[in-house]
Structure 1
Amino acid sequence: MKKQVLIAGGGIGGLAAGIGALRAGCEVRLFERAQHFSEVGAGIQLGPNVVRRLQAWGLQNSLQAVVAVPEALQVRSALSGEALARMPLGSAAVARYGAAYVTIHRADLHQLLLTALRAYADVHLNLGETIEHYREADGVVTVRDQANKLIEGDALVCADGVHSRLRRQLLGDGPPRATGHLAYRAMVRQAELPQRLRTQQVTAWLGPRLHVIQYPVRRGELQNLVVIVQGPAPADMERWDHAANAQDLEAALSGTCSALQDLVRSVPRMGMDWRLWPLADRPPLRAPTEMAQGLVALLGDASHPMRPYLAQGAGMAIEDAAELQRALSMHDLDLDLRLRRYALNRWQRNARVQARSQRNGRIFHATGPMRWGRDTALKLLGARIMDLPWLYRGDGSSASSL
């Protein structure tokens, strides 16, 4: 008889977890609080380490139809506009790591995974249902939804995001911490931009206490813009998408170069809006028990929310799901041991990415002598310090991959 895996959360992590569990031969019941599956207009970078997972799931053609493949990753000074370093991507990434480095609209990735999930017969999607509580006893996990309905399963995967209530029940560690960083996000049509503001690469503009990322998505038709500045978060941390004031953003960038300011001002000129997301995270994982205990496992942001300075938040969730598949396929083991194996094989890599993301944030936003040293190192070493073989080549399945 097939094991039934309950999954809380219908975001990218939850959908990926569902695919992994189904490919391991399990039946899946997925619970999503929203009445309809949807994702906001934001971009995601997927490194070769993540693209290989999607290829292994047979999603290469679907992926190719919607992504952009940036030709390079470029770093510039937000103050002077000077180019500091460049790392080739495109065919160079494929030759080096066996897969491309791609950029994708979050909604396109969500739809791609949802379509793949719905292709399986043993999946049951429950929309408008939030799992509020669970109980584990006698080899069964019982969850209670907001309508007080009880549902039983053989295991529970919590992929309900950075503000996961189920995590708090499992680990008792309270809410995530505010980082003091705010992300302003916008999406614009490239054809409506002046030629000088269009791009087919990933560009990171680094400045004191701020940085800006721009890159193409949806076959290059759209450009994703992210401006991260240091400042106080809105009072409502759990509502992660807020209306943004373009004037506040322009004031934060007042000391930056004219090219960058022109790019940011192009958003309201085109009739588009900025959205404000307060960034939250948790300290790096310290033990496998922070990813799984008994018949309950955490995945993606529910387990290891991280700052976006390594562009691996969605990537680590997909890697988690691939490892979940591998662990659940160990049919000679009891389910609690399979989930423990999943956690043992993931926690150290996730912890390293969390720590490196925090470190990158300090480097990106450096001031004074540290900023001068960063810029000098980038000019001298370029791609040699931008490339991350441990990340893009690592198989993500064990501590040895670190």
Structure 2
Amino acid sequence: MRKVLIAGGGIGGLSAALACARAGAEVALFERHAEFSEFGAGIQLSPNVVKILYGWGLQEALAEVAAFPDRLQVRSASSGAVLGSLRLGEAMARRYGAPYLTIHRADLHKLLLAALQQQGAAALNLNRSVINFEQTETDVALQLAQDQTERGDLLVGADGGWSRIRRQLLADGTPQPTGHLAYRALISQARLPVHLRSSQVTAWLGPQMHVVQYPVRGGEALNVVAIVQGQVQGDMSHWDHSGNAAELQQRMQAACKTLHDLIQAVPDWRLWALSIRPPMRRGREQADGRVALLGDAAHPMVPYLAQGAGMAIEDAAVLARVLEEGGWFADTPDADVAARVPALLRQYAQQRWRRNARVQATAIRNGKIFHASGLLALARNAAMKIRGEGLMDQPWLYRGI
């Protein structure tokens, strides 16, 4: 059995492990923390991603924990006026073959972990920090803490934006701050006044800020993310910068009453400074030799297209598909298999980097549009009213891989 080493046990790492195990690989995954867990709150999964998860047999599990909003609505943060809307629900499922859903990040993580454990072909190693790796003509050796070494046929770096695997593979620095701060919160809908509860996705757009809200956990909770422009001091790789309600409430003083009421109703916020890399420019940023990068390790992006987790899951699916279609799991002599790995990973990179780059660039552009002011904001609002769904839909993305 061919062996895949995976650094990182987040959504991307678990997705890669599940996809490769389902295809027939032996998987050894290494997570530096003492337990599997996932930070953050909610994420949106569009049809391109949901189709993959359904293909992995997760449709029933997703139905138990996700929410299925019927509409994405865009509103003015200052006036509250509806600027445009996009039908989700059955309309999205008919158009693209799968629904649009919203889910708590931890729920998706648990779901992937459970599916991987049921698969039974993966060794899940906790509290195992990755130090470095060494490639040879026949395999790759992963150096772990306490002078432990694990050998495999290929290595997947799914260890996040500050990836050690990428640092050694490409030596191209670290993600850089965008000047945008994300305040994130999760609140029980039962704790909210009736007029603030919601079963749809709503994006509130304003000068140098926007707020996104949507249901998770079957609609029982509301995920709220407020993104403003500004800087924080300290370690940019750290999730929680002790954001507090008073600071955000001050920043939202000019918001309309409904949005102002929502911000006031949330007692606790976590603050995250957004850092990214420029859009990908070449395949080597996705794979080189026997090492493949996946998710944020390859293409950290701003969340203004809601595709960060989605692109990691797509990466995982394409990686497993390329290996399988390339005959890597076939019963052939070891020397032949060893020789094929770098070429197969180049195929993976070529199939992924341009799409990932387009998503990165589109997300950056969306941020400028979301946070527009003056004439640009007026033009944005007019375009949304005239073109409606035609402007908000993303066929090139939602059709999938």
The answer for the alignment partner of 2:327 in structure 1 is 331
The answer for the alignment partner of 2:205 in structure 1 is 206
Q: Secondary structure at the match of 1:342?
A: helix
Q: Secondary structure at the match of 2:119?
A: coil
The answer for the alignment partner of 1:375 in structure 2 is 381
Specify every segment of 5 or more residues in structure 1 that has no aligned partner in the other structure, as ranges. 396-402
Q: 1:20 and 1:337 mapped to 2: Cα distance?
A: 19
Q: 1:240 and 1:107 mapped to 2: Cα distance?
A: 15
Please report how far the alpha carbon of residue 24 of structure 1 lies from its aligned counterpart in structure 2 after TM superposition. 2.0
Q: Which amino acid is the alignment partner of residue 82 of structure 1?
A: A
Please report how far the alpha carbon of residue 41 of structure 1 lies from its aligned counterpart in structure 2 after TM superposition. 4.5
The answer for the alignment partner of 2:73 in structure 1 is 74
Q: 2:377 and 2:207 mapped to 1: Cα distance?
A: 8
**1:41–1:187 Cα contact (<8 Å) kept:** no
Cα displacement string for residues 372-396 of structure 1 (whole angstroms, at most 9, x for unaligned residues)? 110111111111100010000132x
Q: Secondary structure at the match of 2:263?
A: helix
Please report how far the alpha carbon of residue 145 of structure 1 lies from its aligned counterpart in structure 2 after TM superposition. 1.1
Q: 2:40 and 2:348 mapped to 1: Cα distance?
A: 32
Q: 1:367 and 1:88 mapped to 2: Cα distance?
A: 27
**1:181–1:233 Cα contact (<8 Å) kept:** no
Cα displacement string for residues 107-160 of structure 1 (whole angstroms, at most 9, x for unaligned residues)? 100000000111122210110111110011132111111222111111000000
Q: 2:146 and 2:190 mapped to 1: Cα distance?
A: 47
The answer for the alignment partner of 2:217 in structure 1 is 218
Say which of 359, 364, 371 aligns to 1:358: 364
The answer for the alignment partner of 1:399 in structure 2 is none
The answer for the alignment partner of 1:114 in structure 2 is 113
The answer for the alignment partner of 1:398 in structure 2 is none
The answer for the alignment partner of 1:319 in structure 2 is 314
| RMSD of aligned residue pairs (Cα, Å) | 1.0
Q: 2:131 and 2:381 mapped to 1: Cα distance?
A: 48
Please report how far the alpha carbon of residue 241 of structure 1 lies from its aligned counterpart in structure 2 after TM superposition. 2.4
The answer for the alignment partner of 1:400 in structure 2 is none
Do the aligned partners of residues 238 and 41 (structure 1) sit closer, same or farther apart at CA in structure 2, a change above 3 Å counting? closer
Q: Secondary structure at the match of 1:308?
A: coil
The answer for the alignment partner of 2:16 in structure 1 is 17
Matches within 5 A, 1:249-398: 249-268=248-267, 273-329=268-324, 330-331=326-327, 334-395=340-401
**1:234–1:278 Cα contact (<8 Å) kept:** no
Q: Which amino acid is the alignment partner of residue 327 of structure 2?
A: H
Q: 1:23 and 1:292 mapped to 2: Cα distance?
A: 22
Please report how far the alpha carbon of residue 365 of structure 1 lies from its aligned counterpart in structure 2 after TM superposition. 0.3
Q: 1:111 and 1:238 mapped to 2: Cα distance?
A: 23
Cα displacement string for residues 277-308 of structure 1 (whole angstroms, at most 9, x for unaligned residues)? 11111011111111000100000000000000
The answer for the alignment partner of 1:175 in structure 2 is 174
Q: Which amino acid is the alignment partner of residue 291 of structure 1?
A: Q
Q: 1:234 and 1:107 mapped to 2: Cα distance?
A: 27
**2:14–2:113 Cα contact (<8 Å) kept:** yes
**1:69–1:103 Cα contact (<8 Å) kept:** yes
Q: 2:119 and 2:94 mapped to 1: Cα distance?
A: 33
Q: Secondary structure at the match of 2:210?
A: strand
How many residues align? The count is: 390
**1:20–1:321 Cα contact (<8 Å) kept:** yes
Specify every segment of 5 or more residues in structure 2 that has no aligned partner in the other structure, as ranges. 329-336
Please report how far the alpha carbon of residue 367 of structure 1 lies from its aligned counterpart in structure 2 after TM superposition. 1.2
Task: Detail structure 1 runs of 4+ shifted over 3 Å in the superposition.
Answer: none
Q: 1:50 and 1:66 mapped to 2: Cα distance?
A: 16
Q: 1:303 and 1:241 mapped to 2: Cα distance?
A: 23
**1:75–1:204 Cα contact (<8 Å) kept:** yes
**1:309–1:361 Cα contact (<8 Å) kept:** yes
Please report how far the alpha carbon of residue 211 of structure 1 lies from its aligned counterpart in structure 2 after TM superposition. 0.1
- In the superposition, the TM-score normalised over structure 2's length comes to 0.96
Cα displacement string for residues 165-219 of structure 1 (whole angstroms, at most 9, x for unaligned residues)? 1101101101111111010000000011111000000000000000000000011
The answer for the alignment partner of 2:161 in structure 1 is 162
Percent identity between matched residues is 56
